[in-house]
Amino acid sequence: MSSTRKPVHLAVYDTLADWETGHTTAYLARAGYEIRTVGPGREAVRSIGGLQVLPDLALEELSPGDSSLLILPGADLWDTSDDLAPFARKAREFLDAGTPVAAICGATAGLAREGLLDDRDHTGAVSFYLAATGYRGGERYVDTDAVTDGKLITAGPTEPVAFAREVFRLLGVYEGEVLDAWYRLFHDSDAEAYAVLQKAAAS
């Protein structure tokens, strides 16, 4: 791993949807990125799937200058309380500093409430889900699997593979036919794509 490559930070909090970011973090780690978890504090949190995670650092300790990317997974708490609003504010801090943010599922609603989707192309679970936040970015909603606008990636809850694809593209982990093959393998179960990946790995 390059000594100058900064870690990727994965937000973790109670009720996080643990299936939404697995492709992303697994293949970023394989590409040489250190994955560090960041929680509301340093206390353990528990995912929807019952997994207990002990954060590497607390949100207040995280600086955009120390990170390659902030990943915000979905969680029930995005819609049932204001507990995760500090993570949306941290996303604003990241974007203002030019550091990428990737949000999936309920995290897109958190960003909408923070006003971060008002002037950026984006997607989410469905347009009326985000409209219910009262945000002003409805005209920028794109009905597709995942969207990248500048340094911000958004995706709906059923698109973890497309979400990962956009992260890999933005960070330059995979490109061109290799990126396309990775997506076809994991999204479409296209066996022919495996050969492309094997060839790229051997080169």
Query: Is 98 part of the annotated catalytic residue set?
Result: no
pTM of the model: 0.96
Give me the pLDDT at residue 79, please: 95
The pLDDT, as a whole number, for residue 148 is 98
Q: How far apart are CA 102 and CA 72, in angstroms?
A: 6
Given a contact cutoff of 8 angstroms between Cβ atoms, the answer to whether 58 and 41 are in contact is yes
CATH classification for the domain delimited by 8-172, as one of 3.40.720.10, 3.30.2130.10, 3.40.50.450, 3.40.50.880: 3.40.50.880
The confidence score (pLDDT) of residue 3 equals 54
Gap between the Cα atoms of 7 and 141, Å rounded: 30
Could you report the per-residue pLDDT of 126-175, keeping only the tens digit for each? Answer: 999 999 999 999 999 999 999 999 999 999 999 999 999 999 999 999 99
- Out of 105, 167, 173, 181, the active site residue is 105
pLDDT for the residue numbered 1? 44
What's the token pair of residue 61? Answer: 């300790």
Question: What is the per-residue DSSP string for the chain?
Answer: --TTPPPEEEE--TTB-TTSSHHHHHHHHHTTPPEEEEESSSS-EE-TTS-EE--SEEGGG--GGG-SEEEE--BTHHHH-STTHHHHHHHHHHHHTT--EEEETHHHHHHHHTTTTTTS-B--S-HHHHHTTT-S-GGGB--SSEEEETTEEEE-TT-HHHHHHHHHHHHTSS-HHHHHHHHHHHHH--HHHHHHHHHHHH-
The stretches in the chain having pLDDT less than 50 are 1-2
The ranges assigned to domains in the chain are 8-172, 175-203
